Structure 1
Amino acid sequence: MKKIIYIALMTLTFNGFAQSLFDKYEDYDQVDSVIVTDEMFKLLKEIDPESPEAKEEISVLGDLTGLKIFNTENPKVAAQMVADAQKYISAKKMSELMRINDQDAKVKFYIVKGDQPHFAKELIMILNSKKATDNNTVIMLVTGHIDLKKLSKLNKKIKIVNGKYLKEVEEKETENEQ
């Protein structure tokens, strides 16, 4: 019984840690943010689309419980965001999924593995632009029952982040299954 209580408290602590760690950026003038809550994802589940393609998209979104995207061009704030993301990754004991270093950006993906091979419970992406004209840093946190293959396909349509990088996540997951 003590183990169950301890695990429940740790889960609540980590969830609170994530909220307090990233929520402060919503109020920063130098940070653009998009926050989609569990309630919005629940509403999406209620939509009855006509096309099979839309049904698949809604099924992917309906399994999510949260989406947070923070974007800044301010180097000082960017360094703070990345440091907080690294704290979060360490506290959650996330696994590195992949790293990308190309002419445009450095991108890292970390996950908390799900119950099935190409699923995750959480995914965090850290993107640092390398272009002199575009000094963006983006932190994206996705929570829920995340099908990594479907998330990549969905991103192509709604352009959450640069689709090039999520496409590489899908390819990496396909390689891991073989």
Structure 2
Amino acid sequence: MKKLALLIAVVMITSISNAQSNFDKYENMKEVSSMVMTSKMFKLLSKIDFESSDQETQQYINLVENIKNIKVFATENQSIGKKMKADVNAYLKTATLDELMRVNSDGKNIKFYSKPGKDENYVSELFMFLEGGTEKNGPGTVILTITGNIDLRQVSKLADDLNIPGGKELKNVEKKNK
């Protein structure tokens, strides 16, 4: 019985780690733009001395301190976009994500998902998938994943500052959670 429990645990851990690495393969593809920020970068940012008593600045620092990573993968290539969509669909089948919102605007379909966090204003993962963009209105396909202790009421500010595709739509998620 112990061997069976151990085997199940190993399989679950492997499938969880494989889900994240499914998107990492896009990082080095020629026709994919990527941005990966790790917890080390966020710790460095949080150590910057802003010398500010401004509440908004403090909230921003708290948000940054609690992020583990941000990964963004974007492409105009339709073939790669189809592969991304297949990987996203496979990930959504195995991950325990709740749908937050769907947006269909200007030919773009954008879906937001999250993993629950410590309370209703926080999530441990915020996941976005965008498809249908054009050269005129942005990348054709985008995967965005943010992990950590994420305050949904503050995340759009970070998306704006980093110029992340879908940042405007993140503001709608934030408004929904205020």
Question: Where does 1:15-164 land on structure 2 (aligned, <5 Å)?
Answer: 15-51=16-52, 52=54, 53-131=56-134, 133-134=136-137, 136-164=140-168
Q: Give 1:27 deviation, angstroms.
A: 1.1
Unaligned runs of 5+ in 1: none
Identity %: 39
Counting matched residue pairs gives 173
Distance between the aligned counterparts of 1:44 and 1:20, measured in 2? 25
Aligned partner letter, 1:161: P
In structure 2, the CA distance between the partners of 1:163 and 1:128, relative to structure 1 (3 Å rule), is same
Quick one: which amino acid aligns to residue 101 of structure 1? N
Shift of 1:154: 2.9
State the Cα RMSD in Å.
Answer: 2.5
TM-score (norm 1): 0.84
Residues 79 and 50 (structure 1), Cα distance of their counterparts in 2 relative to 1, 3 Å cut? same
- Deviates most, 4-13 or 111-120: 4-13
Residues 29 and 68 of structure 1, relative CA distance in 2, 3 Å threshold: same
CA separation of 1:115/1:163 partners in 2, compared to 1, >3 Å: closer, same or farther? same
> What is the TM-score when the length of structure 2 is the normalising length?
0.84
Moved more, 5-14 or 95-104: 5-14
Moved more, 85-94 or 143-152: 85-94
2:46 partner letter: K
